[in-house]
Structure 1
Amino acid sequence: MPAHAEWLGASQEQDAMACASILRALHPDWLVVDHYALDIRWETVQRPYCRKLVIIDDLADRRHDCDFLLDQTFGRREEDYQHLVPQKSVLLCGSRYALLRPEFAQWRPYSLARRKLPQLEHLLIALGGVDRINATGQILDALIAGCLPDKCRISVVMGETAPWLSQIQHKAAQLSWSTSVLIGVTDMARLMADSDLAIGAGGATSWERCCLGLPTLLVVVADNQLAVARNLEQFGAARIMSYGALDDGNFVTQHLRDLQGNPQAMASMTHAAASAVDGKGVERVMHVLCQGQ
């Protein structure tokens, strides 16, 4: 049974039969599946009702029945899946296949050019639209210690449904720096490109920040983010701050002081991040899929 089986809200067998009745009528050329709770048992049921089956995964912890498998995780290798998929399956592994919206590639030249002279004048805090554990609040509490340059400004990104939103707005108003709480951001690529340092969560936004060469203090809030975070840190593209460490405000402020006093470290993170993701992942994936039609 998949480790995340409870996320489905039903058994695989029940869900497979419900979906099969729909796919039988549609009979799509391509079926793309992206769900931690599904594996070979669900996929085999759908096989007769689609021409090609594509799996998106990043756990490499269960068997699949597919024609193509995409895992855009930095450091992921084909060998990680070879015992989990049919021999004929095409494996697209690694962050060179990261699926980013086109605006990230568009903003990449500008973003990289402005980082040639590293500085810390704009801090971006984006820890997920919901941030149920209020990691954002703990970061803002730590900033009260005065660990940023006087001329720095702060942008905090939140979602409209974030349970701590009003508290975050109140905390932001108390800070010594110009701080904006941005809700429902639709131009994240531009915002990242105009930022000098990010405090961000794991997940797909890691590839967005890398594409733009944005140095990052990476907050790990879930076990399935840890392996990716460690790979990025070892590569030099980010520094890890585990959620538990946020209780110690000194841990946060020390990282910030270290980076603002070390432009070379900022430049090194930019170089590593930008080399991990170039924004052309969609083109590469589409080229392979079109060849496999």
Structure 2
Amino acid sequence: MIKFAIRADGGSKIGMGHIMRTLVLAKELAKTNDVFYICKVNNPLSDKYKPGIDKIKAEGFDVICINENNILEELEKINADCLITDSYDVDENYFMQTKHLFYKTGYFDDMNLYYFDVDFIINQNINAEDFKYNVNNDTKLMLGCKYLMLREEFRNVLKKHTHKKVHNIMITVGGADPSNITGEILSWVKDLEYTFHVVIGPSFNSEYKLEKLRNEKVKLYYNADMYQIMKKCDMAISGCGSTLYELAVCGVPTIGIVIADNQKAIACRMHEKEIIINAGICNQLEKYSFTEHIENMSNNYNLRKNMSLKGSELIDNKGIGRILSIIESI
């Protein structure tokens, strides 16, 4: 039995993406290994980190908390065989130091910013194979949608039927929404003739504003069952993080919004492959062009059907199995 430590954080500023994708791997590793998490904390503990810690504990994993200002010193005290990091709070020194502290190390990457002194890298994004990674000769690279780790409920999805008329549209921007993009979108679309199914992430800090917009055409979901909402909806408006891949698997035609820098290239590639319509960067959106995207997609049955088909063909359900085989062979 191997002892795995997973270092990841989630909260009001950075969202929940690092937590959610590592949990997919953690659950599979935990079937035959010992798995626990390492999370940064501030003093006093705030929404900067608390939602991530709460989610991990709710999924049944132990959490070791480390001081956000002394990460490497704190990691020296950790007893584990393998450290897997999913965080942007790293640099080349971090990878070199942790390589000496643990028997094996791995990293979830999106940006290819450093020389990575690790045993394996996982980049499951659609553009991952474009990167020329600077790594050791024996570093295992798991790149592209072939290694996409789907949550269990998304692994055997039935083919979606494309309706001639759009009735239900999902809105999801991620685990956090510090700029209240969700509220702005709702203010633009509230007069359109659709029912909007709005996902409220665990790190949202302006739910009270959204509650004022709730009515029979605007449904709000806390602790959302994402698969059930996707199954119900004819279209989606989504941030361009990991949710895009789940929408693709479910065959939901999507208007993508770039929420963070690491989503730009993903949105462009998904648009090129006609899996999404890339509406652009969130703080540059305009009401008229955005609602036009919605109406154009809604009124074009063949476009939606084609997007649904291409999305559902992008990913198989074997990514997590491929990753486990490689990690266990290192």
Is this a same-fold pair by TM over 0.5?
Answer: yes
Select between 163-172 and 249-258 the one with higher mean Cα deviation: 163-172
Equivalent position to 1:34, from 86, 91, 97: 86
Distance (Å, rounded) in 1 between the aligned partners of 2:266 and 2:164: 25
Equivalences for 1:40-119 in 2 at 5 Å?
40-77=92-129, 80-82=131-133, 84-106=134-156, 108-109=157-158, 112-115=159-162, 117=163, 119=165
Distance (Å, rounded) in 2 between the aligned partners of 1:160 and 1:52: 32
Equivalent position to 1:220, from 241, 258, 276: 258
Equivalent position to 1:271, from 303, 309, 321: 309
Structure 1 pair 190–279 and aligned structure 2 pair: CA distance change class (3 A): farther
- Contact 1:58 1:73 (C-alpha < 8 Å) held by counterparts: yes
**Number of the residue aligned with 2:32:** none
Residue identity matched to 1:258: N
Structure 1 pair 48–266 and aligned structure 2 pair: CA distance change class (3 A): same
- Name stretches of at least 5 consecutive residues in structure 1 with no aligned partner: 1-6
Equivalent position to 1:18, from 58, 74, 80: 74
Q: C-alpha root-mean-square deviation of aligned residues, in Å?
A: 2.5
Distance (Å, rounded) in 1 between the aligned partners of 2:239 and 2:127: 18
Equivalent position to 2:320, from 271, 282, 289: 282
- Say yes or no: does 1:155 pair with 2:155: no
Shift of 1:123: 0.6
- Contact 1:198 1:215 (C-alpha < 8 Å) held by counterparts: yes
Structure 1 pair 239–16 and aligned structure 2 pair: CA distance change class (3 A): same
- Percent identity between the two aligned chains: 22
State the secondary structure of the residue aligned to 2:178. coil
Residue identity matched to 1:132: P
Distance (Å, rounded) in 2 between the aligned partners of 1:254 and 1:237: 18
- Say yes or no: does 1:165 pair with 2:217: no
Shift of 1:227: 1.1
The one-character-per-residue Cα deviations of 1:86-132 (angstroms, maximum 9, x if unpaired) are: 011110001221122111113x21xx2323x4541211011123311
Distance (Å, rounded) in 2 between the aligned partners of 1:120 and 1:261: 8
- Contact 1:129 1:159 (C-alpha < 8 Å) held by counterparts: yes
Shift of 1:169: 2.0
- Contact 1:159 1:184 (C-alpha < 8 Å) held by counterparts: yes
Equivalent position to 1:143, from 167, 182, 189: 189
- Contact 2:160 2:308 (C-alpha < 8 Å) held by counterparts: no
The one-character-per-residue Cα deviations of 1:114-168 (angstroms, maximum 9, x if unpaired) are: 23x454121101112331111111211221343x3xxx42211113552321221
Distance (Å, rounded) in 1 between the aligned partners of 2:100 and 2:190: 60
The one-character-per-residue Cα deviations of 1:236-269 (angstroms, maximum 9, x if unpaired) are: 11111232343x2211221111112111100111
Equivalent position to 2:243, from 184, 191, 205: 205
- Contact 1:210 1:276 (C-alpha < 8 Å) held by counterparts: yes
Structure 1 pair 118–85 and aligned structure 2 pair: CA distance change class (3 A): farther
Shift of 1:39: 3.1
State the secondary structure of the residue aligned to 1:113. coil
**Number of the residue aligned with 1:239:** 277
Shift of 1:81: 3.7
Larger Rg: 1
- Say yes or no: does 1:191 pair with 2:241: no
Distance (Å, rounded) in 1 between the aligned partners of 2:69 and 2:196: 49
Shift of 1:69: 0.7
Shift of 1:282: 0.9
Distance (Å, rounded) in 2 between the aligned partners of 1:71 and 1:161: 24
Number of paired residues? 267
State the secondary structure of the residue aligned to 1:171. coil
State the secondary structure of the residue aligned to 2:116. coil
Higher helix proportion (structure 1 or 2): 1
Shift of 1:14: 4.6
